[in-house]
Structure 1
Amino acid sequence: MAIYSFDLDPVTLSIDLSVGHIAELKIRDSQRILSPLHRASWVEDPDAAFPEGTPPNVKRLSGDFFCAPFGRNDVEDGPSHGWPANSAWDHVETSRQDDRLTASFRLQQLVMGATVEKRITLIAGHPFIYQEHSFSGGAGAISAAHHVMVHMADGGDLAFSPKQAAQTPPEALETDPERGRSVLAYPAQTENLAAFPLADGGMADLTRYPVGENHEDFLTLLEAPDRSLGWSVVSRKAEQDRIIVLKRPDVLPVTMLWMSNGGRDYAPWNGSHTGVLGIEDARASPLGHADSCGDNDLTRIGIPTALLLGEGRRVTLRQVIGACGQLPGEGALNDLYEEGSTLSLKFQDGGSRALKYDPAFLAG
């Protein structure tokens, strides 16, 4: 498979051009090299067996990929999560200007008649990738999401920008006990992330991962209104690092969490895909493309779930992914905010840490 790699200290990045996934991300933090993103073990296994109809995005499951539409593809003919996550991209160019390196890619397929482009910028000294996806032209409405995946060898703590609620969809990901298991209650909703209903009547703390053993679960976090910066931070216990995902809440107003912890017994998962958390910043309904484009549970409370395409129109989505090591004595993360040309992490003990960061990227 064609892999395109580029780097600018402290970041090294590889793109799997067959599906547009981030194949590998490495970030240097002082003397450490952090590997914040997940890549499924079967991707490099030549003997891996896949059931008939397994989409390419599962076969090549890696790092982060762009979904358009998100989930069920029931408006335009195509695979789940759309062509951007399942088909080939061309490398267009890589350019260097001052302290910035930008690689550009174009999807070979059209999405609702639109051309889809990916631009990833690295900035010298910044422990982040700044990525942008754009739709040019086309017609109709499209849902979209990123699909960042993190692996935790021994769990970790989760922190988020303020949310108004967390909710599960009408049905669990796995309803057949012969194939897999889910542990959260479906449907369910709570405003308290530390007390989400479980199927057995108990409560799960969504600020800790995992929430159970041998389970496959999915839920949606609804961003609190009037926020300028949305964020998710995974503080990994064994790896002693923090993975940071940033967005604009007015553009991507929900964050969907995919909890994949050994809850699927069929190929290629085979009960061995464990400790994986998907952080899926989205403008989408979890129920698929058609639901996203119409009146749905989210739009009825003022949360947009689709983007409008059109001739001569360019629609752009931006997201930032980064990582840093955990320093001794920092403790749990309490808050995160932009401060000048830095991103400041504030901890529960009152301490803080500043990372080099470009706030203009998401604001643009």
Structure 2
Amino acid sequence: MATEIFHTIEAKGIRATLDLRVGHIRRLVVERDGKSLEPLNSAPWVDDAAIIEDETLLPNLRFLSGDFFCAPFSTSDVVEAPPHGWPANSRWRVLTVEAHPEGGTIARYELERDVLGARLIKEFTLRDGHPFLYERHVFIGGSGAVPVANHAMVRLPTGGTLSFSEKRFAFTPETPLEPDPAMGRYALAYPSRFDDLSAAPLKDGGTANLTAYPFAQRHEDFVALVEAAAEGLGWAAAARTDQGDLFVSLRNVAELPLTMLWLSNGGRDYVPWNGRHVGVLGIEEGRTYAGYGHRASTHPNPLTEAGVPTALVLDPDGEVSVGNVIGAVPLPEGWGKVARVSANGGLLTIEGEGGGRIEFPFDADFLGTA
């Protein structure tokens, strides 16, 4: 179903709705085992006319929801564009919708602006019986390099347990998201670097456990996790015990070597936030120098010196793309942390830290890690 604002696609057991005004996923709903799973968050003001009609606010903020693609990720200080780029702030048009040959739907959308001269295509695939949205973003032509990221936001109203594929190290940037106490608050130390996700340094001393959300109240924080492996399947999982589901994010670590966490728990006091964006975790899969912006990501930096790519190089005579998979599955009774996630043939296997495993249909070829 298509309207001027939203476009929805479906397959058996799953549906996704894209907000065409800004390219944000407004809803992702998985129907499985008699449950309706809807892990993504929409900001509490997305239907507030006073906010959405206020053009002094960035479109990305007015319609903040679900998941969106950033190019560039963070500050746009190379070409004129808002933070997170035009893909997260301007309109997309529906190009094609077609049936998947093995059951399901493939939809393609085109950004109405260019990115460094490139045409950008958003491709969504839903497969019958698969509890996942397969996302691909394709840059056709263009020149230069751009940091990119998918920017999923999970709703954790009563908290949750987080698990990740093995990380090399984690760090916070030089400056917190809200350094001015008149505007907001933060809890972590900036800058910092650490190896143990259960012992992230706090600004006032002590440590926080990043695998348990929330670790503090009324704060905004950002931390980047660098993948240990240079290739293969990277994953993040958020167990929402109160909702009985497990949010899963999957990627090829050679394409997207960072997982960035935006811990948004009521730490901003100005419009449109007004202290009401609470219990939200951004799980942002990227190829970027964290939150340092376009210019820093395309020049030598500490990550590139460590062999971690921080920007996507465009091809003037061809195309380049990045893929990401997000979804939700029922959470087995008694599960908290996930021990490992693996893709084999047509299945994704998720193993619990306390034992047990669950399996789901999965296109292991999509990310190129099979």
TM-score range relative to shorter protein: over 0.9
Instruction: Give the deviation of 1:340 after TM superposition.
Output: 2.4
1:281-360 matches, cutoff 5 A = 281-285=285-289, 286-360=291-365
**Among 243, 250, 255, the residue aligned to 1:246:** 250
Are residues 352 and 312 of structure 1, via their aligned partners in 2, closer, same or farther at CA, if it must alter by over 3 Å? same
Instruction: Give the deviation of 1:227 after TM superposition.
Output: 4.1
Q: Deviations over 1:175-224 (max 9, x none)?
A: 11111000000000111111000001010001011120000000100000
Are residues 267 and 331 of structure 1, via their aligned partners in 2, closer, same or farther at CA, if it must alter by over 3 Å? closer
Contact 1:220 1:254 in 2 (8 A): yes
Instruction: Give the deviation of 1:36 after TM superposition.
Output: 1.2
1:48 aligns with 2:51: yes
d(CA) in 1 for partners of 2:91, 2:335: 42
Instruction: Give the deviation of 1:327 after TM superposition.
Output: 2.1
Instruction: Give the deviation of 1:308 after TM superposition.
Output: 1.2
Segments of structure 2 that go 5 or more residues without pairing to the other structure are: none
1:154 aligns with 2:155: no
1:9: which partner in 2? Answer: 12
Paired amino acid for 1:332: K
Instruction: Give the deviation of 1:337 after TM superposition.
Output: 1.0
d(CA) in 2 for partners of 1:194, 1:27: 31
Paired amino acid for 2:342: Y
**Stretch moving more, 191-200 or 305-314:** 305-314
1:279: which partner in 2? Answer: 283
Q: Deviations over 1:218-264 (max 9, x none)?
A: 01000002441000000013212100000000100111110100000
**Stretch moving more, 330-339 or 212-221:** 330-339
Contact 1:51 1:267 in 2 (8 A): no
Contact 1:38 1:276 in 2 (8 A): yes
Paired amino acid for 2:307: G
Paired amino acid for 1:106: E
Paired amino acid for 1:90: R
d(CA) in 2 for partners of 1:25, 1:176: 35
Contact 2:230 2:257 in 1 (8 A): no
1:187-206 matches, cutoff 5 A = 187-206=191-210
Contact 1:101 1:121 in 2 (8 A): yes
2:80: which partner in 1? Answer: 77
SS of residue paired to 1:42: coil
Paired amino acid for 2:275: G
Paired amino acid for 2:278: T
**Among 107, 110, 113, the residue aligned to 2:111:** 107
d(CA) in 2 for partners of 1:330, 1:51: 43
1:112-131 matches, cutoff 5 A = 112-131=116-135
1:194-233 matches, cutoff 5 A = 194-233=198-237
2:68: which partner in 1? Answer: 65
Paired amino acid for 2:61: V
SS of residue paired to 2:72: coil
TM-score for both structures, normalised by structure 1:
0.97
SS of residue paired to 1:48: helix
d(CA) in 2 for partners of 1:228, 1:81: 26
**Among 32, 39, 43, the residue aligned to 2:42:** 39
Paired amino acid for 1:21: H
1:171 aligns with 2:175: yes
Contact 2:117 2:141 in 1 (8 A): yes
Are residues 49 and 359 of structure 1, via their aligned partners in 2, closer, same or farther at CA, if it must alter by over 3 Å? closer
d(CA) in 2 for partners of 1:134, 1:214: 38
1:20 aligns with 2:23: yes
SS of residue paired to 2:367: helix
Instruction: Give the deviation of 1:146 after TM superposition.
Output: 0.4
1:234: which partner in 2? Answer: 238
Contact 1:336 1:346 in 2 (8 A): yes
1:91: which partner in 2? Answer: 94
SS of residue paired to 1:349: coil
Segments of structure 1 that go 5 or more residues without pairing to the other structure are: none
SS of residue paired to 2:295: helix
Paired amino acid for 2:36: I
d(CA) in 2 for partners of 1:290, 1:346: 40
Paired amino acid for 1:299: T
TM-score for both structures, normalised by structure 2:
0.96
Paired amino acid for 1:344: T
SS of residue paired to 1:360: coil
Q: Deviations over 1:280-309 (max 9, x none)?
A: 100111200000110111111111111111
Instruction: Give the deviation of 1:49 after TM superposition.
Output: 7.7
Contact 2:161 2:336 in 1 (8 A): no
Contact 1:256 1:281 in 2 (8 A): yes
